[in-house]
Amino acid sequence: MSMIHTAAATRGRAHTASAISVSDVSHTYGARTAGGMLALDGINLEIGDGEFHCLLGPSGCGKSTLLYLIGGFIPVQAGVISTSAGPVTAPGPDRSIVFQNFALFPWKTVKDNVLYGLKKAGFAAAEREQRAQRYIDMVHLTGFENAYPSQLSGGMQQRAAIARTLAVDPGILLMDEPFGALDAQTRRVMQEELRTIWRDSRKTVVFVTHDVQEAVFLADRISIMSARPGRIQHVIDVDLPKDRGEEILENRAFIGLSEHIWRLVREQAVAATRGAH
């Protein structure tokens, strides 16, 4: 596995600092018209500097909405979101996102997609080339640099999108079900790779997933959201060794915690189904 070393790795981690602070955030779609839909209701969440935080919850509970708000892609209507750079009012260079639906430019090749992000982030031309190749290799797309998204499988497109986001080395990494389209084997490799990157670069990660096992494998802490309108129902510490490989799946604490979380998520999923009828 590649080891990614970044400037951030030498900066060290301030355990007490909050990288992301979400206070009293609610969000209504169609707020200006009658019959607006409350998607998030009074979210409070403190995510520590260098923490790997997973958001779990039933479909439609507002996970993507919360991630977009933190990313600054949709305006905060009620409450406050701040990072160490100040209140979030727009996208910024400290935050980078992997969208749920990949969002690659279809008219650009894999390499040009990755280069685009680097250019926008202000990297010098020589470094852009070097970084683009390094991250394309890391997501196992070597040889596909000149392919267009339409020539790739869904999983390959997703890996290209991940390379584009990781290459700019943001302090805060927002990931919206990034591994959802991958086959089980690739997914496992990417999970391990992501934890390695996170550990070496000390990034703060907010990672949305439906997959309880994936959340327990990756996270330091897990927030379980309620069915719509989304609220934070439980915040759970994942008290497992930092070094996690395949063997952790057999670990009793891992299995016990996964089952516990699965029960909590299931309660919300059942509530969501009831709400839909």
Chain positions contacting ligand ATP, by CB under 6 A: 29, 37, 39, 57, 59-65, 100, 228
Among 64, 165, 204, 209, binds Mg ion (CB under 5 A): 64
CB of 71 to ligand ATP, least distance (A): 12
CB of 181 to Mg ion, least distance (A): 13
CB of 28 to ligand ATP, least distance (A): 9
Residue 226 is a binding residue for Mg ion (CB under 5 A): no
- Of the two residues 60 and 92, which places its CB atom closer to ligand ATP in the complex? 60
CB of 205 to ligand ATP, least distance (A): 17
- Of the two residues 100 and 157, which places its CB atom closer to Mg ion in the complex? 100
Look at strands 52-56 and 86-87 and give their pairing.
Answer: unpaired
What residue 226 binds from Mg ion, ligand ATP, none (CB within 5 to 8 A, per partner kind)?
none
d(CA 235, CA 221): 7
What residue 228 binds from Mg ion, ligand ATP, none (CB within 5 to 8 A, per partner kind)?
ligand ATP
What residue 59 binds from Mg ion, ligand ATP, none (CB within 5 to 8 A, per partner kind)?
ligand ATP
CB of 187 to ligand ATP, least distance (A): 17
What residue 258 binds from Mg ion, ligand ATP, none (CB within 5 to 8 A, per partner kind)?
none
Residue 65 is a binding residue for Mg ion (CB under 5 A): no
The residues binding Mg ion (CB under 5 A) are 64, 100
